[in-house]
Amino acid sequence: MMNRFMMAALAAMLALGSTAPVLAQGGPLRLTITDGVIEPLPFAVPTFTAETAGAEQIASDISRLVAQDLTGTGLFREIAQSAYISQMGAFGSPVAYEDWRAINTQALIGGAVAVSGDQLTVKFRLYDVFTGAELGEGLQFAGTVTGWRRMAHKVADAAYSRITGEGGYFDSRVVYVAEEGPKDNRQKRLAIMDFDGANTQFLTDSSTIVLAPRFSPSGDRVLYTSYESGFPRINLLDVGSVTKRQVATAEGEMAFSPRFSQDGQRVVYSIANGGNTDLYISDLNSGGSTRLTNAPSIETAPSFSPDGSEIVFESDRSGGSQIYIMSAGGGEPRRVSFGEGRYGTPVWSPRGDLIAFTKQNAGQFHIGVMRTDGSEERLLTTSFLDEGPTWSPNGRVLMFTRETQGAGGTSALYSVDISGRNLQPVPVSGGASDPAWGPLQP
Amino acid sequence: MDRFGIQWTPGGYVSSGGHVFLLVWLIAGWGFDAEPLPFEVSDVSVVSSEEYAAIVEATTPDPSETPPDAPEVPVAEKAPDVPVQQEAAAVPTPPEAAAQDLPPPEAPEDPVPVIDQSPALPGAAAEEVVAAPNLTASPRPVPRPTQRVTAEAVAPPPEDATPDPVVQDRASEEAAPDAPVVEEAQEQTAPEESATEIVTADETPQGQLLETPRPRTRPNVPTPAPAPEVVAEETAPPETPEVAVDADAVAAALEAAAAAAAPADVPQGPPMTGSEREGFRVAVNACWNVDPGSQAARVTMTVGFTLDQGGRVTNSEVRQVAASGGDDASTQIAFDAARRAILRCQGQNGYDLPADKYSEWQEVEITFDPSGMRLR
């Protein structure tokens, strides 16, 4: 036994002795890369397979909408189908990765659609071409044929999330103020649409002026300011039934600029009395109100932090309009914006790390973001009039109102990535303003 | 070695200097009076060693006169002993202890007289006593040349008095065991290894010269081939069946070890140049797609992979080595982006890397640090 032990030890020593110099020569080659490239990720969405007769068109529509959603983010670039070397086989069949690598496809989405009566089933798989493996597992959604767009948005959300690691925002809706007519006689009404401008529905008529709609966290209700009584008042509208009621607020000449708390049970807003405007919070169920600020200045445009512990708002207590943060229960606010110009309409990011705002400086309006401590301010847009940013559910995109100059100027909705890229108009028929982005739909 | 190809040693300096001085003095009588010359010559030739010892004894100062010697024993003299300690390491006795113990008993013996006489040298008469005859008659071997300067040389003797060290050596040999000066312990070693030298102590610190590290032994270069033979020889003689089994096992283990470690087919070229490394970095960089607005842009990701000799990732396997700055989801996305970059940019033909330096880039670790690309 001893001999065996000694021999084994000797062998081990010899082995170590022979490998050590190799390792001692420096180990692996170590490199550090600090400056990558910023470019859309190439992906391909071959037309989904129609698994039932008559599903060809809807399969094509869904695959096109998935591609459109991803391309619209600015983070992806679709490879034209004319460049495909091979097509996808039956759903789940082996993928010819080499063919897709040859055209520099990095992400490949394969899917299938089945229609049975009014029922629609969509399933898909996402492939990482260069690793030759599937990204996540296949998913299947079921719904109605009329809701095929939502099905496509859900597929796009899943693909987006798996590739970027962040939540999607395609299956979401936006409530806004639809506008018609010239500036001096503009008709306004509440409308709701898909994030991409499809499926627009009007929630109110144009008999009264409506302003600043805000989605509830669950997306089933909308708060907005109405001039129905001749003075600004806050209304609560149920999106499903399209019924509304006035919210009980504190006494005041005007109540406006409402926004839901994170639990959807309270609403924070502004009350104007005798030229002074302060912030209040009311319980939607009990109607009880609490005054949050008491200053001889204008405090308005409140927005809760994602955890509900703080409120960001704008105030001119320092002379010009600036952004402040205070506890959700009130108290002494702290100023967070110190740049030149006027800051307004702050909105806390769903991620909690940024505050979006409108900035007016040197005759121009900007949409910008800053850290919650006021640092790292970045202006994302510049125009004659940009205002009222609202966050996408994943905190990645901002939508806002852009108004053109002149008596014939119109209002439109635009979106921009928080990187400042991919500024593009939201396809809305007619004029639009005051967008509020709702949550992802269930 | 001078330009004439002559290598000058301290002994050579002494000898040539003495001869030149003697020749000039005898032939030209240049700069000297006639009277002192014969007097000096007769003195040297007549005095016997006993008489000379008597004279020395008579001129030996009391121990109380040792203060002049103190400056001649610079502490730096101990530095030369340091290398000796290494040699003494082979001797059972600790070198440091020997250095401390030896001086007391030997102090009375050696060079004390020399040091004591040197103060008398500045006198003109003393210089003439130096006399060449003594030099030539000295049976002592020439001191081993060294680069160091003896303590006595620190005293600024006249240029013409270069023979002094010789006299010191000679005197040290003939000196009687007297003058129990404590400093002798230090002087004991110094004269042996020191000699007169042109190089001054100011120019070259002795300590540094002597502390030059010894050349290290060459590292053992592993030689896998002979190893099995030795083992086979050792294991073969035993007759028990266990040994036979062991030999097989060991041979198998050695073979496996050699196979695992032997870079026989791995080109071992020179280190990669900066441009080669940069070229590789740029190649991967071109495929690293960063979304600066994403949470993954906050993750610094280090991945490792193995390249085959064609410059392609072996089995397309990229592993995560380290990550920081993000949650699980963003870390996974950062890893996917890094892996995608590595696999995508290798192309069909692999990365363009020097084939003769394969051992340098066979294993690679790349850190993807997007900190400079984050939104600010």
Q: What is the pLDDT of residues B68-83, one digit of tens each?
A: 343 343 333 333 343 3
Q: Examine the pLDDT at A164 and tell me if it is beyond 80.
A: yes
Query: Beta-strand (E) ranges in A316-371?
Result: 322-327, 334-335, 342-348, 354-361, 364-371
Percentage of the residues of chain A whose pLDDT score is greater than 90: 83
- pLDDT at res. A253: 86
Residue B5 lies in a domain: no
- pLDDT at res. A185: 82
Q: What is the pLDDT of residues A294-334, one digit of tens each?
A: 999 999 999 999 999 999 999 999 999 999 999 999 999 99
User: Computed from CA positions of residues A297, A302, A304, A308, in that sequence, does the dihedral angle turn out positive or negative?
Assistant: positive
Q: How far apart are alpha carbons B346 and B355 in whole angstroms? A: 15
Using the beta-carbon criterion (under 8 Å), do A36 and B227 form an inter-chain contact?
A: no
State the CATH number of the domain containing residue B335: 3.30.1150.10
Contact A104, A79 (CB under 8 A): yes
Burial class (CB in 10 A: 0-12, 13-18, 19+), A340: exposed
Burial class (CB in 10 A: 0-12, 13-18, 19+), B163: buried
My answer on whether B73 and B198 are in the same domain is yes
The pLDDT confidence band at residue A128, using thresholds 50, 70 and 90, is very high
Q: Which residues of A touch B346 (CB under 8 A)?
A: none
Percentage of the residues of chain B whose pLDDT score is greater than 90: 21
Q: Could you tell me the end-to-end alpha-carbon distance of chain B, in angstroms, rounded to an integer? A: 69
Listed as own residue / partner, the contacts of B178-181 with beta carbons closer than 8 Å and 24 or more positions apart are: B178/B57, B178/B60, B178/B108, B178/B112, B178/B113, B179/B60, B179/B63, B179/B108, B179/B112, B179/B113, B179/B116, B180/B63, B180/B107, B180/B108, B181/B63, B181/B66, B181/B69, B181/B107, B181/B112, B181/B115
- pLDDT at res. A179: 93
My answer on whether B99 and B14 are in the same domain is yes
Specify the DSSP class assigned to residue B93.
S
- pLDDT at res. A274: 85
Q: How far apart are alpha carbons A164 and B329 in whole angstroms? A: 9
When mean pLDDT is compared over A14-23, B126-135, B157-166, the highest value belongs to: B157-166
Render the burial of A50-85: b for 16+ CB within 10 Å, e for the rest: bbeeebeebbebbbebbbebbbbbbbbebbeeeeee
Average pLDDT of the segment spanning B217-227: 46
- pLDDT at res. A271: 95
User: Looking at this predicted complex, what is its ipTM?
Assistant: 0.79
Task: Give the number of other Cβ atoms within 10 Å of residue A432's Cβ.
Answer: 27
Measured CA angle at A141 (ends A138, A147), to 5 deg: 145
When mean pLDDT is compared over A66-80, B35-49, B90-104, B188-202, the highest value belongs to: A66-80
My answer on whether B94 and B235 are in the same domain is no
- pLDDT at res. B194: 43
CB-nearest partner of A29 from B253, B258, B360: B360
DSSP element (H, E) containing A5: helix A2-24
Average pLDDT of the segment spanning A40-53: 96
Poorest-pLDDT segment among A398-412, B106-120, B152-166, B239-253: B106-120
CB-nearest partner of A166 from B247, B295, B375: B295
> How many domains does chain B fold into?
3
Residue labelled with tokens 């040539």: B16
- pLDDT at res. B174: 41
Using the beta-carbon criterion (under 8 Å), do A33 and B295 form an inter-chain contact?
A: no
Q: What is the pLDDT of residues A273-283, one digit of tens each?
A: 988 999 999 99
CB-nearest partner of B285 from A33, A75, A106: A33
B264 touches chain A (CB under 8 A): no
* Sheet arrangement for strand A172-180: A201-202, A187-194, A172-180, A431-440
Q: What is the pLDDT of residues B3-17, one digit of tens each?
A: 555 666 777 677 777
Using the beta-carbon criterion (under 8 Å), do B366 and A106 form an inter-chain contact?
A: no
My answer on whether B147 and B171 are in the same domain is yes
B126 touches chain A (CB under 8 A): no
Read off the tokens for A243: 């019924």
Q: How far apart are alpha carbons B99 and A66 in whole angstroms? A: 90
Q: How far apart are alpha carbons B341 and A129 in whole angstroms? A: 12
Residue B14 lies in a domain: yes
Q: Which residues of A touch B316 (CB under 8 A)?
A: 131-132
Residue B94 lies in a domain: yes
- Single out the residue of A290, A338, A285, A340 nearest to residue A311, CA to CA: A290
Poorest-pLDDT segment among A270-274, A289-293, B232-236: B232-236
B304 DSSP β-pair partners: B319, B365
- pLDDT at res. A173: 97
Residue B248 lies in a domain: yes
Residue B51 lies in a domain: yes
Instruction: Name the closest residue on chain A to residue B289, using Cα atoms.
Output: A37
- pLDDT at res. B309: 92
The overall longest dimension of chain B from CA atoms, in Å, is 108
Q: What share of chain A is helix, strand, coil (3-state, %, to 5)?
A: 15, 45, 40
| DSSP calls for B159-217 | GGGTTHHHHHHHHHHH--S----TTHHHHHHHHHH-B--SS-TTTS-HHHHHTPPPPPP
My answer on whether B278 and B340 are in the same domain is yes
My answer on whether B238 and B306 are in the same domain is no
Pairwise pLDDT comparison (B209 vs B352), residue with the higher score:
B352
- Most A CBs within 10 Å: which of B291, B313, B314, as the mutation test of the A interface? B291
Read off the tokens for A162: 């798996």
Q: What is the pLDDT of residues A165-214, one digit of tens each?
A: 999 999 999 999 999 888 778 899 999 999 999 999 999 998 889 999 99
Looking from the CA of B299 toward its CB, the CA atoms found within 13 Å total 26
Q: What is the pLDDT of residues B288-335, one digit of tens each?
A: 999 988 889 999 999 999 999 999 999 989 999 999 998 898 999 999
Domain boundaries, chain A: 41-164, 173-440
My answer on whether B175 and B93 are in the same domain is yes
CATH of domain A173-440: 2.120.10.30
DSSP element (H, E) containing A6: helix A2-24
- Tell me, what amino acid is at B217? T
CB-nearest partner of A165 from B231, B286, B294: B294
My answer on whether B257 and B278 are in the same domain is no
Read off the tokens for B165: 């060290």
My answer on whether B153 and B232 are in the same domain is no
Read off the tokens for A296: 């001889």
- What does pLDDT average to over chain B? 60
Q: How far apart are alpha carbons B147 and B10 in whole angstroms? A: 10
- pLDDT at res. B117: 39
Pairwise pLDDT comparison (A73 vs B255), residue with the higher score:
A73
My answer on whether B159 and B74 are in the same domain is yes
Residue B216 lies in a domain: no
Q: How many A/B residue pairs have CB atoms within 8 Å? A: 172
Specify the DSSP class assigned to residue A296.
S
Residue B215 lies in a domain: no
Looking from the CA of B370 toward its CB, the CA atoms found within 13 Å total 32
- Single out the residue of B104, B70, B98 nearest to residue B82, CA to CA: B98
B345 touches chain A (CB under 8 A): no
Residue B282 lies in a domain: yes
Q: Which residues of A touch B296 (CB under 8 A)?
A: 164-165
When mean pLDDT is compared over A236-250, A262-276, A379-393, B12-26, the highest value belongs to: A379-393
| Domain range A41-164, CATH architecture | 3-Layer(aba) Sandwich (3.40)
Q: Examine the pLDDT at B33 and tell me if it is beyond 70.
A: no
Using the beta-carbon criterion (under 8 Å), do A22 and B263 form an inter-chain contact?
A: yes
According to DSSP H, which parts of B60-150 are helical? 81-88, 95-101, 103-106, 112-117, 124-129, 132-137
Average pLDDT of the segment spanning A131-155: 94
Average pLDDT of the segment spanning A399-427: 93
Min Cα separation B217/chain A (Å): 17
Q: How far apart are alpha carbons A264 and B138 in whole angstroms? A: 114
- Single out the residue of A394, A396, A403, A404 nearest to residue A380, CA to CA: A396
| pTM as predicted | 0.65
B295 touches chain A (CB under 8 A): yes
DSSP element (H, E) containing B66: none
My answer on whether B58 and B205 are in the same domain is yes
- pLDDT at res. B4: 54
Using the beta-carbon criterion (under 8 Å), do B340 and A25 form an inter-chain contact?
A: no
Contact B196, B14 (CB under 8 A): yes
> Is it true that A41-164 and A173-440 share their CATH fold?
no
| DSSP calls for A22-76 | HHHTT-SEEEEE---B--PEEEE-PPPEE-STT-HHHHHHHHHHHHHHHHHTTSE
Query: Beta-strand (E) ranges in chain B?
Result: 300-307, 313-324, 363-368
My answer on whether B127 and B237 are in the same domain is no
Q: What is the pLDDT of residues B149-183, one digit of tens each?
A: 444 444 554 544 444 444 444 434 444 444 444 44
Instruction: Name the closest residue on chain B to residue A26, using Cα atoms.
Output: B360
Instruction: Name the closest residue on chain A to residue B367, using Cα atoms.
Output: A32
- pLDDT at res. B301: 96
Using the beta-carbon criterion (under 8 Å), do B285 and A14 form an inter-chain contact?
A: no
What range defines the domain where residue B126 resides? 10-210
Instruction: Name the closest residue on chain A to residue B365, using Cα atoms.
Output: A30
The pLDDT confidence band at residue A226, using thresholds 50, 70 and 90, is very high
B358 touches chain A (CB under 8 A): no
